[in-house]
Structure formats: structure tokens, C-alpha cells
Amino acid sequence: MNCNKCGSNIPDGAQFCAFCGASVETPAPEVEKTAVYEPLKEEAVQTDPSPAPKKAKKSKKGLIIGIIAAVLVLIAAGAALFFFAFKDNNKDTKVPLIYYTENELYATKKLKENAKPFEICTDYAGNYMLTSDNKYVVYTQNLQEHGNEEEGLYYTSDLYYTELFNKKFEPVLLAKGISDIRAVTGVTGAVYYEKDDAVYRTDAQLNTDKLIDNAYVVEINEKSGRMLTATTASEGNDELSDTELNLIDLNSNKVYPITSKTLNYNWNSDLSNIYFVENGTLYCADAMGNREKISEKDNVNEFYYCEDCIYYTTLDKTFSYLDLVNDPEKKADEKITEPKFEDYAPKQKDFVKKEIDDVQNKEVSFVDFEAYEKAQEEAIKKYDEAYTKYLAAQNRINTREMLENEGNTSLQTYSLYVYNGSVKKLCSDVSSIAPITNTKNKGCGKALIYTYHTAVNKLNKLDILDVAKAEDVIEYIENQLSYDQSVASGEMLSYFNTNSSSYYTYVMAYDENSQVYLASGSKEKYEGAFDLYTFKEGQSFKQAEIIANNCSNYFYIGGKLAFFTDFNEKSASYTMHYNGGKINDVSGQVLIPESDDGSFYYATDFNEKTNLSTVYKYKDKQVQKIADDVMFTYSTFGVYDGKYLYLTDYDTNGFCGTLICQSEEGKFEVAKRIRGIDNVGVQFTGDYD
């Protein structure tokens, strides 16, 4: 019950408030409610009314009991509040190892044989997050399937939290029927999740607010206390309509509208600036939705935010099919009409001749049939020529109509601009732009620019009479197209020539350590692989140094380049090149320790039937075998407390195996029927987020 004076929560039957000392009147009997929190105001489960408590005598003993009870209430409430407030008072709390079966979620800090893990739940629904102090876990339970296969299936679950390694702490229900946990943030003391196409927040007092309806979370920045949400509706033809963006201040729960119609947007790391294209114009909005117009025109096509620069293109011309054909007779064809033979046929009267008949001694008239027949033949010839021209004109007219009905082609030319506090035009005749990443797969402030080597309107055009279908025009033009490539760095545009030995070249990344660009040269025979090149700033592609032929992938380990070549289809393996050496029969996936000290784990001898491999560790050009018959993925292999964890005896039907812990002292079985492990200190190659 609550104190009548200060409203504090105090034990039923208490005579005095432990907080303000006021005398408490005994309340009338009321329905007892469950202690489980249901944030969406669903009806609480009710029990039979309790009898009215007897009035206690005023005594110090009662006061002491009341104080003790109140303190217990405060301790319980404090446990709940601490989960959300987590001030990082215990930053040294060890990150627990998490592992799970199909339905169970476990945590442990001690990897010892026969050690019992902490059981988080036995009805795990597949999603969890730890608080920043690693003391509490938010997780989903009770997976529920909705819909059907024809209309589409979707799943919801219930959201709980509990204190790790504290069996006395009862799990607390935060929400029912959520679709996804989005964040657990200590700065704002709340859990954020999605439910019924809306974004919700449960705060430190276990109150739930709907932050925004009909939206999903795009990004959350805990330090700045901001959340970017989006709403995108499908138009039924699998094409996305305009997206609505909103920025939410997590400290005040205030929603700041950004735009209601964009298909292209980006943001900086702390969500203080949102960049978006609306109605063809590029804008920048701050954290409170105030917008600044960036582009000078309303025909922006695409843009990339690269650290402190924004590169964007504006449309100059969209080519129609008619623009790309040679058609000198168009004006003449507009005047031509179908010829009629009578307009060409000779008239007999024009071939009548007169002469004196000597016998009759009088003038007689007759037709010069020889001349008439010659004129008739000449008329037929001219008529045929005219009709042939007419038919050709009709063919051209029909072709024009076909091309006109097809409308515009996919060929467009753009101008490139850069914005860095002010707008500057860099070049025209642009085909497309793309960001260049650095060795950590993040934007490095550089962009790759493709321009047409020969302007589209200056290419050789297909004669209109040679067009059988509209696609003939595009094929004819595209066979002539070639591209120049440049690197934009700030306001500088560095041009480099394409190596003619490659069918297609592409600058993929900039290696900040060695200050060289990585580029690919793809050839048709490679079927998706490429030649790997490096070249320095200011060099042309013809000066590039070839690093590898038939390369399948590249990544960085410890700041050094690694790449795969020579894919073997039978063994599903590659040759891996790293640090001046190579390793054969690598099964494709490489896992890197979070320390990224130049060591890595890889698998060989992949068994297609069992999906198991032999796992090795590489460090300082030394190779160490870890184990045989291991399911080697990011969620089934890892390192915790200097010990190796992996799944073996894998069941490909149940997607589970036996979890083994291995160290220098030996190995032991941790648990059976395990589907995955987490917080294990390894990450994908190239994944540096």
C-alpha cells in the first residue's frame, strides 16, 4: 500500500510511514494484483479479495517492523532500478560467456569441468542483450508464430530481464509480444524494443512509453542519447515508397521530424546530423530537425557521406532511345504521303499524233503506242521508287513510335559536386560514384568517380532502319561505352587510366598504413574473382602493381593485407596469402581475435557431409593445430579466458553439437545440444565495426 501523505510504497498493515513518519490509516480491502509488470496496460490477473487487516496497536515494535519492511521494499525496488540505472560503478565486471540450445539460454564466468552454468531461461526465443556493466541480461522468451505461409509468417516473443548469477532475483517481465530488442542503454536508463510496428521504451520505473508508431529503429547512439527511426511502406509491387525519418531525443523522449519523403539518407556517428534527399534536393538536418539545404539544384541522384565530405551528383541528361539513333530523314518523313499510281501514269491523249492519209487525202489521228508503252514503263519505275521510299518512311515512323513508347533508356549523365561547408562542382559526364573504404571497412573521405570516356551523345549511333527492337539501340551504344575513373579526395580529383588488360576495374579500398589503393581487375574467365592491384596516389592504373591473379576475397589482419586465391571447387577451399607466406586448403572463413594482434584462426579439411573441419591458429608465421571435427563459424568457435571453445559431434538436422572447452591442461565437455556461443573474443575477417 501507499502512504496517504507522501505516497511512498510501504508494507500492508504498517502503522507509520518509514519515509515521512506519518500515521497511516488502514485501507479498505482491495483486489490483490500480480507482482509481474505488464507495461501495455493489459488486465492484471486477479485473486480473491483479502480480508481487512486488523488494526495494530501503536508501539515502537510496530514502527521498527515497519521500518525493516520498508527497507526490504527499498532493497527490492533498488535491485530493479539498478538494472536500468547501471552507472558503470563496476566496470571490472567480467564479460560472461553466453551459450544457448534451441530453447535454453545460459551464462557462465567459470570454465571448469562439471561446473554448473547460470540458467537464464528455459524458453529462450533467440534474442538477448547485456547491460553495459555485464551484470544484467535482457532476453526474449515464449516465441509465438503468427500468420501463415501464404500471407507470410512473423514471430513475437516476451521481453524479460534478470540479474546474472543471482538465483534469488526473479525475472521481470518488461513487455509482451515484441518483435525485436533494439538497445539497452545506461545513459537513459531504459530498454528500447519494437512491437506492433512501433518503438517502445521501458524506463527506470518500469513505465512503458510508445515513442513512435509505425516505425523501426535505424540507429541508436547511447552516448549522445539519440535514436533514428524510419517508416517505409511497400507499394505492393515490391518497390519501396518514400521513407519517413524521425530523430528521437532519448533523454526527453521528444520526437523531431526529419523528412517524410526520402529514399536516400545517411548520418554521422553521433546522429547530430542526418543527410537526406527530398524531392531531388540534398539536405542536412541537425538533432532537432532543423534543416539546411545543401544542393543548389533539385535533381540530386545519389550522394555519399565520407567523414567530413559529402559527394553528390545531379542529373544533367536522361537519354531516350530516339537520342541514340541516327535519323536524318525525320523531317522529310513527316511530309511524305502514300503515292498513287495515277499521279505517275501517262495519259493516252498525250500520245495522240496526227498525219495526212495519202489514200484518203485527209488528216487522221492515232496513238503512238510505242511511246506510250515506254512512258508507262517509266511511270511504273518512278511509282515503285516513290512507294519504296514511302514504305521506308513508314518503317522509320513505326520504329520511332516504338522507341518513343519505350521512353527513356537507363543511360544518364551527371555532374559531381562536393560539400564541405560550401558547394563546389568537380566534373561533368559522370556515370556513377561509390565510396572508398579504408583498411577497417569505414569511409576514408575518398570517393570513386566513373565518367564516360566518350560522351554518350558523341558515340556512333545506330541507323534507325537497322533497329528491330529497342534493346538493339542500348546494346549498340553500350558496346562502345568505356569509363574513366578518378578518386575524389576533398576538392581534389585525381584521374587514373584504366588498364586495358582488365575487362572491368574497380578501386575497392585505401590502405592507410602503406598509403596505397587496392583495386580489382575482373575478367570474364574468373567467374566472380578478380586480379588484385595496388597503386599509389598520383599513379595511373597502368602503373599499378599486380598482387594476385584470380583473387576471391581480401581483408586485413593486424593491419596487414590478406587475400584468397585459387578456389578449389572439390574441397571448397582457397589458398590464403598473408604476411609474405601462404596457407593451402583454407576453408574460406577466418576468425580474428578482438585484439587483432596479427593472429587468426582458420579451418581446413572441410567435410561437406558433416560440415566439420580441422581448426588451426596462426601467429607470427607459426601454425598450431587446435582440434579436429569442429563446426567452424563465428557462433560455434571462440576463445574465452584463454581457453578454446568449439562444437563437435554436430547434428546438421538439429543445428547443435557438443560444446568442448580446451586448454593447455586438457579438454572437457561443457554441455550437449548447444546451438551457439557468444562473447567469445573473435570476429569475422574484415568486420571491424
Q: If you average pLDDT over residues 453-460, what whole number do you get?
A: 93
Q: If you average pLDDT over residues 131-150, what whole number do you get?
A: 92
The DSSP output letter for 43 is: P
Task: Report the pLDDT value the prediction gives residue 361, as an integer from 0 to 100.
Answer: 81
Q: If you average pLDDT over residues 215-223, what whole number do you get?
A: 94
What residues form DSSP beta bridges with 247?
228, 256
Task: Report the pLDDT value the prediction gives residue 589, as an integer from 0 to 100.
Answer: 86
pLDDT band at 239 (very low <50, low <70, confident <90, very high): low
What residues form DSSP beta bridges with 229?
217, 246
CB 159 within 8 Å of CB 130: no
pLDDT band at 260 (very low <50, low <70, confident <90, very high): very high
pLDDT, tens digit, 9 for 90 and up, residues 394-412? 999 999 999 999 999 999 9
**Cα 476–Cα 408–Cα 260 angle in degrees, nearest 5:** 135
Q: In a 3-state reduction of DSSP, which class is residue 458?
A: helix
Task: Report the pLDDT value the prediction gives residue 498, as an integer from 0 to 100.
Answer: 58
pLDDT, tens digit, 9 for 90 and up, residues 88-110? 444 557 899 999 999 999 999 98
Task: Report the pLDDT value the prediction gives residue 172, as an integer from 0 to 100.
Answer: 94
CB 278 within 8 Å of CB 262: yes
In the predicted model, is pLDDT for residue 522 greater than 80?
A: no
Distance of CA 433 to the CA centre of its chain: 18
Number of CB atoms found within 10 A of residue 182's CB: 22
Measured CA to CA, the distance from residue 164 to residue 169 in angstroms comes to 9
Global pTM reads 0.76
Highest average pLDDT, of 45-54, 64-73, 259-268, comes from: 259-268
In the predicted model, is pLDDT for residue 633 greater than 80?
A: yes
| CB crowding 456-473: b at 16 or more within 10 Å, else e | beebebbebeebeebeeb
Higher pLDDT: 128 or 206? It is: 128
Q: If you average pLDDT over residues 57-75, what whole number do you get?
A: 37
Element (H, E) at 403: helix 369-406
pLDDT band at 21 (very low <50, low <70, confident <90, very high): very low
pLDDT band at 32 (very low <50, low <70, confident <90, very high): very low
For the chain, the average pLDDT equals 83
Q: If you average pLDDT over residues 624-646, what whole number do you get?
A: 94
Number of CB atoms found within 10 A of residue 239's CB: 8
- Looking at residue 536, its amino acid is K
pLDDT, tens digit, 9 for 90 and up, residues 333-356? 889 999 999 999 998 888 888 888
DSSP string, 546-579: EEEEEEEEEEEETTEEEEEEEEETTTTEEEEEET
pLDDT band at 454 (very low <50, low <70, confident <90, very high): very high
Task: Report the pLDDT value the prediction gives residue 538, as an integer from 0 to 100.
Answer: 73
| CB crowding 357-374: b at 16 or more within 10 Å, else e | eeeeeeeeeeeeeeebee
Radius of gyration of the chain (CA): 39
Give me the residue label for grid cell 547491460.
131
| Residues sharing a CB contact under 8 Å with residue 319, sequence separation 6 or more, in sequence order | 408, 409, 411, 412, 413, 456, 457
Measured CA to CA, the distance from residue 410 to residue 474 in angstroms comes to 9
pLDDT band at 62 (very low <50, low <70, confident <90, very high): very low
Distance of CA 400 to the CA centre of its chain: 41
Higher pLDDT: 589 or 21? It is: 589
Question: What HEC string does 635-679 produce?
Answer: CCEEEECCEEEEEEEEECCCCEEEEEEEECCEEEEEEEEECEEEC
pLDDT, tens digit, 9 for 90 and up, residues 567-596? 988 888 999 999 999 999 999 889 999 888
Higher pLDDT: 454 or 496? It is: 454
Higher pLDDT: 667 or 32? It is: 667
In percent, how much of the chain has pLDDT > 70? 83
Task: Report the pLDDT value the prediction gives residue 2, as an integer from 0 to 100.
Answer: 53
Return the beta strands (E) in 461-525 as ranges: 462-463, 483-489, 492-496, 504-511, 516-522
In percent, how much of the chain has pLDDT > 90? 55
Q: If you average pLDDT over residues 484-492, what whole number do you get?
A: 86
pLDDT band at 632 (very low <50, low <70, confident <90, very high): very high
The DSSP output letter for 46 is: B
Task: Report the pLDDT value the prediction gives residue 26, as an integer from 0 to 100.
Answer: 45
